[in-house]
Structure 1
Amino acid sequence: MIGNDIVDLKQAAQDSPDSYREGKRYQRFLDKVFTQNEQALIFSSENHYETVWLFWSMKEAAYKVHVQQFGKRFFNPKRLVCKLISEEKGIVGIDDHHYFTSSTVTKDYVYTVAKLNLCKPHLSTIIASFQLCSIERQSKMLKIAFLTSVSKTKEMSLRELQIKKTAIGVPKLIYNNRDLPTSFSLTHCGRFSGFAY
């Protein structure tokens, strides 16, 4: 199983202006989302802002895997505990379950892929250039790019591939009206989107 998440750092800055990133409102946000240990790592890092969004991205990607695995949604970001192994690698624990993450941090975005199995290969692509698209259009373009990639790598007819959501909103890949056992994840934020499978 796989999950991914991307944060457009420019979009995140617009959504949380400098006045929000300081003082009581900022601390309430940190207390709601991050454990005390995570907050200590945020404040000791060279770039607090990037570290906040790195941990957020790790939590979101791992959450997607967890929901696929157990079929239950929840909202409790502090239940997801991040640990950094290196600048790119991490582990997110949710109760007794652990998810392995690989992250990319650039000046423009933070992108994380989470998996159950560290050794299982995957394909992951980041798509940029959605500056003028509506969220609906961006979502549609992302799905087309993902289905096109699956069609090429698995040598399947693009016309027979589709995405349907389960009762709890987890996307499933369908080919010729049958569920495929392909785990995948889609994400978009601001100017960027990505898929992993």
Structure 2
Amino acid sequence: MVGNDIVDIVEAKKQSNWQRPGFLDKIFTAKEQQYISKATNPFIMVWRLWSMKEAAYKLYTQLYPSRFYNPKAFKCSVNTLNGKVKYKDFECYVNTKITLLYILSEAHLDKTDMISEAVIFNKNDYKTLSKITKEILLNKISDRYTIPKSQLRISKSEFGIPSVYVNLEELNIDISISHHGNYGAYAVSDPARFQKPCRYTIA
């Protein structure tokens, strides 16, 4: 399973004043606020932690289908660009990539390399970004599994969890999709990594 989240740094600077009273207390634990206060760039740390929480939430809801908002309850610990997130009895590993343009985090149940890929757009429009990111992801799945793209579609559950279908049959792989500002990101897990059977041939 995989969960990911991407943050457009320029867009984050425009949209949110993280220094306003009460913002940090609402979202971050005391330990996380220490990470922020001690960071060389507190702004980047704020959005790194946020993206870790979001990626972990997406992974959690794949395991336990639900929809809720409680970012402070997803508790982060960080070490260089690796980290962990805990929520109740749930724990996952999170890798983060930080560039000058975006922050990309990816959550797994075990330690593994990042498989998410970022997509850069030249316009900031939610519907357009969502559509294009899904199209690129479907192209990748089509190539990997040698399935005609015309037979593939992505559908979300009532809890917002995305799945890939071949005609009317769900393809037994895990995906995660994220977009913010001018950037999107997608990940396709390798079924063999999680010992999940797939009746389609990997290209």
TM-score (ref. length: structure 1): 0.91
Aligned length: 188
Do residues 161 (structure 1) and 155 (structure 2) align? Answer: no
Give every structure 1 segment of 4 or more consecutive aligned residues whose post-TM-superposition deviation is greater than 3 Å. Answer: none
Identical counterparts, % of pairs: 33
Corresponding residue for 2:191? none
- Quote the RMSD (CA, aligned, Å): 1.3
Corresponding residue for 1:69? 63
Give CA deviations for 1:168-188 in whole Å, capped at 9, x if unaligned: 221111012101111110001
Cα deviation for residue 133 of structure 1 reads: 4.4
Distance 1:51 1:123 in 2: 22
Do residues 118 (structure 1) and 114 (structure 2) align? Answer: no
Q: Which residue identity is paired with 1:124?
A: S
2:138·2:152 contact (CA, 8 Å) conserved in 1?
yes
Corresponding residue for 2:196? none
Corresponding residue for 1:191? 182
Cα deviation for residue 131 of structure 1 reads: 2.7
Matches within 5 A, 1:1-197: 1-16=1-16, 20-22=17-19, 26-84=20-78, 86-119=79-112, 123-128=115-120, 130-197=121-188
Distance 2:41 2:174 in 1: 33
Distance 1:95 1:58 in 2: 16
Give the secondary-structure state (helix, strand or coil) at the position aligned to 2:58.
Answer: helix
Cα deviation for residue 74 of structure 1 reads: 1.8
Cα deviation for residue 135 of structure 1 reads: 1.3
Distance 1:118 1:65 in 2: 14
Distance 1:89 1:73 in 2: 26
Distance 1:32 1:39 in 2: 11
Give the secondary-structure state (helix, strand or coil) at the position aligned to 2:31.
Answer: helix
Cα deviation for residue 6 of structure 1 reads: 0.4
Distance 1:195 1:168 in 2: 18
- Cα–Cα, structure 1 residues 122 and 106, in superposed 2: closer, same or farther, change >3 Å? closer
Give the secondary-structure state (helix, strand or coil) at the position aligned to 2:63.
Answer: helix
Cα deviation for residue 124 of structure 1 reads: 2.0
Give the secondary-structure state (helix, strand or coil) at the position aligned to 2:130.
Answer: helix
